[in-house]
Chains A and B, each alone.
Chain A
Amino acid sequence: MNIIKFCLSLSLTIVMLLLMDPRSFYGISFHEWAGLVIGLFFILHKILNWGWIKKVTISFFGRSPWRARLNYILDVFLLAGLTLMILSGIAIARTIDFSWLKLGGSPMFWRVMHTSSCLITLVLFGIHLGLHWNWVIQRFNFKRFSNGKED
């Protein structure tokens, strides 16, 4: 299970970085479709970690450790950022027709919203990775480094 989680997280990171510039990888069409797929990846990521989410939600105001709370708050911000990112992306989509959603608002507003939310979410992703670095190292079987016993 951990390998699946790790592969999913790695692919999320790579796709997220490729999506940061719409011109970088096969144009706007890839950007839009991959943007939608990343949303599905994110939902899958949450489903795989549903046990942790449930546990921390129940004990958030109780005996939950500070680290779990911090991660939980960060995840809420990430969820908000990603939702905003996908929603604004849908509003300014050019190759996929989402006009039937009738989101309204000016294209300029959605564009600014999309750019800003993407940049902020990328920073949040970096912080999220930093807080889960020990877990990442464990996946590589580098437990000794994470415990600081490498010497």
Chain B
Amino acid sequence: MVKKISFLLISAAILVFGYIGFNKLNYWERSARIFRINNRDQSFEGRMGRGPGGIRGRGDSGERDRSERPEGFREGFERPVMRDLPDSIRARFESGGERPGIRDRNTPDSLRQQFRRTDREQIPFDGRIRNGEGRGRGDFPGGRKINLRNVLWFLPVFASFAVIVIYLDKAYCLIIRRRKRI
């Protein structure tokens, strides 16, 4: 009897930890994602997948609307025509100078001097994580080699499913046995 109770207690503990692990690992959401991937793909198709207001939506109605538009109307985003720009900016464009960037626009001259890259140098990108010395290509952030923290949550989830099936099986066998006796 003692053994039975102890097995029952262990099973209950496994089920409790399994339930916690199931929630902690977001198990249901992550495992059910495979069945939703098509819907998600359909709902996100980039620019081509937009609704009635999008590019695809323009389709047939676009032709109809076009006739109602005033002459000179152009679809989508347009750059301002040169003649509509203020004289100062127009002069800068015409002289071949740089366009005023957003960063430069509101920056004081002292700071602009300090951070200007005269030779248009680029920061080389070697595909590594900053301060990530010692990490190989494609490796996850290192440090300790063995970290079983997450794996330990998978174990009770796995065990809890096994325990559920064991007890369901036992219950089924018990029912069958009793029916046969009757």
Contact = CB atoms under 8 A, between A and B. Distances in A.
Contact of A23 (B1, B136, B150, B162): B150
Nearest to A95: B138
A126 B151 contact: no
Contacts of A20: 150-151, 154
A55 B148 CA distance: 40
Chief secondary structure at chain A's binding surface: helix
B57 to A, nearest CB: 25
Interface residues of A, number: 36
Interface string B17-55: 000000000010011111101000100000000000000
A116 B138 contact: no
Given A116-B33, A151-B4, A29 B165 contact: no
A126 B162 contact: yes
10 contacts: A17-B155, A20-B150, A27-B139, A94-B138, A112-B37, A122-B157, A129-B158, A130-B164, A130-B169, A148-B170
Interface of B: 1, 3-4, 27, 30-35, 37, 41, 136-142, 145-151, 154-155, 157-166, 168-170
